[in-house]
């Protein structure tokens, strides 16, 4: 039922304009290593150094006996800020790992995660950890609410490639 109702609620809540949104591009680099595993990646929002909301967590959700959860703690900053208090899988947040390439995610400004923000600067955090590989954390500062088009981007040096965020009013 929830799945049916949700779009209706969104339509009702939005004005008849193109919906304001946050679009995120995350590049997972192709790595020339002997043993490659897709990275675990967490995307979440922080404000004033405090955790606000999770957007997505990519991990091995298909492993038998939830064994893929064993390495969630390797995204150590996210684990401390949020992960360790969650029950997995998390509806709408847990997702499978992704292959090297550029992945685009979109969130409506009316999405609960964004609605938890207060006016002012906030940060998008992207943390990646790879089995028998390294770990990397990137931050992009952004402004809430979305009064004008904003873009922020940064680039990782080993586990993540380009990460960009666009806020469209």
Q: For residue 137, give the nearest of 76, 92, 95 by alpha carbon.
A: 76
Compute, in degrees rounded to 10, the torsion defined by CA atoms 123, 131, 88, 10. Answer: 40
DSSP 65-79: GGGGGGGGGGSHHHH
Contacts for 50 with CB less than 8 Å, ≥ 6 apart: none
User: Residue 59 carries which DSSP code?
Assistant: -
- Which one of the spans 7-15, 45-53, 116-124, 134-142 is the region binding other proteins (CB under 8 A)? 134-142
Identify the DSSP state of 134. Answer: -
Select 134 or 152, whichever has its Cβ closest to other proteins.
134
Per CB under 8 A, contacts with other proteins among 90-109 are none
Q: State which residue, 93 or 138, has the beta carbon closest to other proteins.
A: 138
Among 29, 89, 100, 134, binds other proteins (CB under 8 A): 134
Contact between 8 and other proteins by CB under 8 A: the answer reads no
Strand 94-95 to strand 50-58: parallel, antiparallel, or no bridges (unpaired)? parallel
Note whether 34 binds other proteins by CB under 8 A.
Answer: yes
Q: Using CB under 8 A as the criterion, what x/- string covers residues 37-76 for binding other proteins? A: ---------------------------x-----x------
The binding site for other proteins (CB under 8 A) comprises 34-35, 64, 70, 131-137, 158
């Amino acid at each position: 039922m929830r799945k049916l109702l949700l779009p209706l609620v969104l339509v009702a809540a939005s004005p008849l304009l193109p919906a304001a949104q946050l679009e995120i591009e995350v590049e997972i680099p192709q790595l020339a290593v002997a043993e490659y595993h897709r990275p675990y990646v967490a995307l979440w929002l922080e404000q004033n150094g405090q955790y606000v909301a999770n957007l997505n967590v990519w991990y091995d959700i298909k492993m038998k006996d939830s064994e893929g959860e064993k390495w969630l703690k390797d995204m150590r900053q996210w684990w401390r800020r949020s992960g360790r208090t969650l029950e997995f899988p998390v509806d709408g947040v847990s997702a499978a790992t992704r292959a090297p390439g550029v992945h685009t995610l979109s969130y409506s400004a009316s999405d609960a995660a964004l609605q938890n923000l207060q006016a002012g600067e906030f940060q998008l955090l992207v943390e990646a950890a790879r089995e028998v590989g390294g770990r990397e954390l990137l931050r992009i500062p952004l402004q809430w609410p979305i009064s004008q088009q904003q873009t922020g981007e940064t680039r990782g040096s080993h586990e993540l490639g380009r990460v960009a965020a666009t806020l469209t009013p």
